[in-house]
Amino acid sequence: MIPTLPVIIALLIGLSFWPESAWADTSHKILQAEVQSLIEKLDNQEEHERRLAAESLGDLGEGARPAIPPLVRALNDEVADVRAAVADALGRIGADANAAVPALISSLKDQDPAVRSTVTAALSQFPKKGALIAPALGKLLDDPDESVRLAAASTLGGLSSEGVLVLRDILQQHPDPSVRVTALSALGGTGIYAERALSELLGALDQPIADMRRAAAIALGKVASDTTWPETRPWRDRSADPLGYDPKPIWPRPMRTPIRQTLYTRLHNSVIEVTIPALSEILDDPEPAVRAAALRALSSIGSESEPAIPFIIEMMGDGNPNVRRAAATALGNIGGPSKHILQVLIVTLADKDNDVQLAASRSITKMGGASVRLLIKAMENPDPSVRLLVAATLENLGNEAVLAIPALSQALHDDDHAVRLAATYALEAIEEISKSK
Q: Where are the domains of the chain?
A: 24-125, 341-437
What band does 14 get if pLDDT is binned at 50, 70 and 90? low
- Mean predicted lDDT score pLDDT of the chain: 86
Share of the chain above pLDDT 90, in %: 66
pLDDT for residue 236: 42
Arch. (CATH architecture) of 24-125 = Alpha Horseshoe (1.25)
What band does 239 get if pLDDT is binned at 50, 70 and 90? very low
What band does 301 get if pLDDT is binned at 50, 70 and 90? very high
pLDDT for residue 416: 94
pLDDT for residue 9: 53
pLDDT for residue 16: 55
pLDDT for residue 28: 62
Q: Indicate if the pLDDT at residue 318 is higher than 80.
A: yes
Bridge partner list, 249 = 236
Q: Indicate if the pLDDT at residue 375 is higher than 90.
A: yes
The mean pLDDT value for 410-436 works out to 88
- Could you read off the pLDDT of 108-118 as tens digits, one per residue? 999 999 999 99
- In this chain, the answer to whether the domains covering 24-125 and 341-437 adopt an identical fold is yes
What band does 244 get if pLDDT is binned at 50, 70 and 90? very low
Which CATH superfamily does the domain covering 341-437 fall into? Leucine-rich Repeat Variant (1.25.10.10)
The mean pLDDT value for 267-295 works out to 96
The mean pLDDT value for 54-76 works out to 91
pLDDT for residue 96: 78
pLDDT for residue 20: 53
pLDDT for residue 262: 75
Greater pLDDT, 262 or 309? 309
Least confident of 64-68, 241-245, 300-304, 411-415: 241-245
